[in-house]
Amino acid sequence: MTFSRIVSMGHYQPSRVLTNDDLAQMVDTNDEWIQSRVGIKERRIADSETVADMASAAAEKALAGSGLSAADIDLVVVATTSSIDRCPNVATRVAKKLGITAPGAFDLNTACSGFSYALATADHAIRAGASKNAIVIGAEKLSDITDWTDRTTCVIFADGAGAAVVSASDTEGISPVLWGSEPDKGDAVVIEGWRPYIQQAGQTVFRWATFSLPKLAVEACERAGVKPQELAAFVPHQANLRIIEPLARKLGAPDIIVARDVVESGNTSAASIPMALSKLVERREIPSGAPVLLFGFGGGLTYAGQVVRCP
Ligand code: UT7
């Protein structure tokens, strides 16, 4: 049986910082409201960079740390919900930029749970023998689909990308995924129409995330055969500190590291989990081989989680 594992990670964020005070100049809001309700201090907003540019930059860093070359990569999967350019897809744009000549290459959209879905899909491809070395990316330019006059959304969303190189392995470095959705609640987050903007029923998503998701996060651990207390870290989708902290508490593992990248980066949808994990790896906060629970959730409403071994 072939398994897969994450070999290396990389991330990219635009250089332009948008602070809460900057936003207070644009809409009727203030630093106190944003920090106390969402936990965000600042976020990064792209200027000329496209989703594909950011995805490529993150992938380039992940590939550089993997010991592999572009010629070794046979699959590129990009999770994104915000790419304005529809065709060629983001995955083939990344492949072209990195000199990966003939990979399987596709984009996948499950909004904020996208990276966990994409990682599971690459894991399945490797387990099935369809791939040996994949690059899995979460990349978003949410600033393109944000209504900058709507204070209920413009203080939350941001831009960035994170990537993982995933390779075949004799040991299980990525557990079977727990994935699912609640289509009846789909109206709670919408990006619709010809000039789409993100609109959400914040309270509906908030209640769902804090009441329904904790037991699913525990179930994702059970599927991996790992007790929450055995985890080294928990990297949930970086939506809101007031969602991340109760989710972490309800895991019943008070000593593990909990990613809180939302404070510095805002909500970057499918990019949030790989960016947060990449930063923890870069800072060497998690020992190599230690188990980490990834748990994505958001538009759809969709969710997905798996336990990965830290590269
Ligand atoms: O990642 C995609 C999935 N989405 C999520 O996970 C989002 C989940 N939901 C949330 O994170 C929270 O519901 C929000 C951060 C979106 C909103 O926080 P909330 O505590 O649920 O606030 P609220 O919508 O209940 O609004 C409370 C008050 C309202 O004023 P009134 O009606 O009480 O007078 C809003 O108009 O806060 C007002 N408000 C603001 N005030 C200052 C809303 N946005 C702002 C703002 N600045 N930016």
pLDDT of residue 1: 62
pTM of the entire predicted model: 0.98
Pocket of ligand 1 (CB under 6 A): 29, 33, 37-38, 112, 151-152, 155, 189, 200, 202-203, 205-206, 209, 239-240, 243, 267, 298
Minimal-distance CA residue to ligand 1 atom 25: 203
* 111 pLDDT more than 80: yes
**Distances 115 to 24, 135, 274 between C-alpha atoms, Å:** 31, 11, 7
Q: Known catalytic residue: 11?
A: no
For strands 17-19 and 42-44, give the pairing.
antiparallel
CATH number of 178-309: 3.40.47.10
Separation between Cα atoms, residue 286 and residue 205, nearest integer Å: 30
Instruction: Please say whether the beta carbons of 118 and 79 come within 8 A.
Output: yes
Contact indicator for 202, 292 with CB cutoff of 8 Å: no
- List pLDDT tens digits, range 10-48: 999 999 999 999 999 999 999 999 999 999 999 999 999
Q: How confident is the model at residue 86 (pLDDT cuts 50, 70, 90)?
A: very high
pLDDT of residue 253: 95
* Exposure of 263 in the CB half-sphere (CA atoms within 13 A): 8
Burial level of 86, CB count in 10 A (0-12/13-18/19+)? exposed
CATH 3.40.47.10 maps onto the chain at 3-169, 178-309
Write the residue with the smallest CA distance to atom 12 of ligand 1. Answer: 202
310 tagged catalytic: no
Nearest of 253, 193, 201 to residue 228 by alpha carbon? 253
If one counts every other C-beta atom within 10 angstroms of the C-beta of residue 157, the result is 22
> Cα angle vertex 209, ends 199, 218, to 5°?
150
Domain 3-169 matching CATH 1.10.760.10: the answer reads: no
pLDDT digits (tens, 9 = 90+) for 239-275: 999 999 999 999 999 999 999 999 999 999 999 999 9
Q: Can you tell me the mean pLDDT for 218-238?
A: 98
